[in-house]
Chain A
Amino acid sequence: MQLDIRLPIGLMFLLLGLVLAVFGLVGDKSQYKSSLGINVNLWWGLVMLGFGLVMFLLGRRGSATARLTEDSPEGVKLEEKEAERAAES
């Protein structure tokens, strides 16, 4: 019912990965001297893109989420116990 946490994580990494990878392809190549000649933007961007995709696809299952207290057995028990304690004192 609520937001599966993997959706925002997946989407964010998809976007970040895309930005990095595209920049790695079209951006100025001379700046990779500092990263030992490796185009980290392109490679790491692709890795992040892949991670984002996996997270996003898993997130569509909708199982990794918090629930409302009223839909959570332990949450309900906690509120009952609290009401009991409040009545006692």
Chain B
Amino acid sequence: MSNIGTDGAPSRTPREDYRTPLKLARGLGSGKSGVSHWWTQRVTAVVLVVLVPWLVGLLVSLVGADLQSARLVIARPWNAIPLAAFVIAAFWHAKLGMQVVIEDYVHTRWIEITLQLLVIFACAIGALASLYALGHIAMLVATLTH
């Protein structure tokens, strides 16, 4: 780190510049993504505070239901739409949380990067599969009732 402060600026030798590395870095913002991780985690958390109790109630109401009646309930717009919102918020929130857990406990760089990629892919697939299934169920019920 002997050339701190040279990004885009004329190169200086340390002798010409007595400012500390901290002084040079201050005011430039985060080297990564700032507060967006923290903020997105909170936004999805607020969504989930609303949707989780609703989802638990919905799932409890489906105990003992057969395939067709479960599909009919899930396909109702005011169940399918919040369910879609839940799935997006939940897998996004899960990705952000798992990311921090991995950052904190996995200290071998290549394993960490591999796990981060797996978490991103898995959460994306989980959300996409759920959304596809919701759409599919809605279509099945729509063709049944028309």
A and B together in one complex:
no
Chain B positions within 8 Å of A, measured between CB atoms, are none
